[in-house]
Amino acid sequence: MTMPLRFPPGFRWGTATAAYQIEGAAREDGRTPSIWDTFSRTPGRVRNGDTGDIAADHYHRTAEDIALLRRLGVTDYRFSIAWPRVQPTGRGPAVQQGLDFYRRLTDDLREAGIRPVATLYHWDLPQELEDAGGWPQRETAYRFAEYAGLAAEALGDRVATWTTLNEPWCAAFLGYGSGVHAPGRTSAVASLRAAHHLTLAHGLAVGALRAAVRPQTDPAEVSLTLNLHAVRAHSDEPGDRDAARRIDAVGNRIFLDPVFHGRLPKDLVEDTAQVTDWSFVRDGDLATAATPIDSLGINYYSPTEVAAGTETDPGEPSPWAGAERHVRFVPVAGPRTAMDWPVDADGLYELLGRLRDELPGVPLMVTENGAAYDDYADPSGQVRDPERVAYLHAHLSAVHRALADGADVRGYFLWSLLDNFEWAYGYSKRFGIVHVDFATQRRTLKDSARWYADVIARGGLLTSG
């Protein structure tokens, strides 16, 4: 016996991608290097020496990829705009050829009946801005606001939702703290400075977007996407609870508190006192960061479990500024994806419940959720991925539970439409519901794509009852 789990009328069903991961065309039409071009071309930084030079060649295959979106029946498509394609040096006027690509993309999406959801920053900082200091420098926030205005002026009559930043935690702490992401720097103070300037950039960009988009004729939502950590203490012992508090401060509240409350977490400032005095935060910054937005995007893949640390030097660069000596990460039991991430849909349910309680009145969107598995085309040409289907079913069920418990979740974006360049893992990890043969660029719908299309057509899930 099966029972339907219906989602509300108007629930937005989408898929998500990012420019550097799929576009390719790295040197075409005026585009200049981003930090990820530089990072991926640096020996030893990316598995197998892979780069995003070609990626999934989406730049030349947009018509084919939009046709895939139509087959899926999505209502929305979340993509990112490549900053160095639009404003190659991070300063000055826009390059019209770059804007024309996004004009065509958004026009074609709208013609297909699909709402364009544009992310302004998915980690591809123009290399010239990094050479000038990157996100640890305050000036980068102002350059981002200028770029946001240029994009909105060109595309404001086409884009339905603007997202300022995608996962600023990763940009700050993996890029400048642990160094496993571009630009590959390893400094705790630089990571904290970057986090603040990304938050400031968000607020400045919200203002630029509001100024450029005409709400009377071109209504558009403005949003921010965070990869919030579903943090659990390993036990109820005080040391474990304190470890969870520390990770929550530097992983979640470092962005939530400025954006929604106009303040820095007091405990974060105390935790990081040996790293910085936070003098880079100027009067008015936090009020700017708290410029109102229309919704919050949440990216979720797996939970984080922590216990009290050993107070010893971790021995390698850490993304957890101020917490690295006090926290030990505990493996979460259960099945794992090809990324070695635990599969635990309860973490998404917990996170949505927390935001329901802490941010009443703020609409929520699940802007990324998905899993990598070792997919391949069988002799018949089919790509069977039952583990991904099970993962997606469990996590959509968690969203449905959260909705039933009062969370204001407006939509769900599956990560990802296409197999793509998976950052430091290169092409070794496949998140797509569409298989890409990178040698030929042939696209093949996986079983998960057909399953997702059925979910969208039905407006919900079928579950055993």
Catalytically annotated residues: 167, 368
Instruction: Name the CA dihedral angle for 275, 279, 284, 285, rounded to a multiple of 10 degrees.
Output: -30
Could you tell me where the DSSP H helices lie in 290-445?
346-358, 386-404
Q: How far apart are CA 172 and CA 200, in angstroms?
A: 13
Task: Give 231's strand partners.
Answer: 304
3-state secondary structure of 342: strand
Rg of the chain over CA atoms, in angstroms?
A: 21
Cβ contact 431:372 at 8 Å = yes
SS3 149: helix
Q: Within a 13 Å sphere around the CA of 329, how many CA atoms are in the beta-carbon half?
A: 16
Burial (CB count <10 Å: 0-12, 13-18, 19+), residue 241? middle
Close Cβ partners of 454 (under 8 Å, ≥ 6 residues apart): none
Q: Which residues contact 344 (CB under 8 A, 6 or more apart)?
A: 302, 303, 332, 334
**What's the token pair of residue 292?**
């109102």
Map tokens 């979910």 to a residue.
Answer: 455
- Chain centroid to CA 398: how far? 20
Coil vs helix vs strand at 59: helix
Task: Please provide the DSSP assignment of 277-296 as one string.
Answer: --TTPPTTHHHHHT---SEE
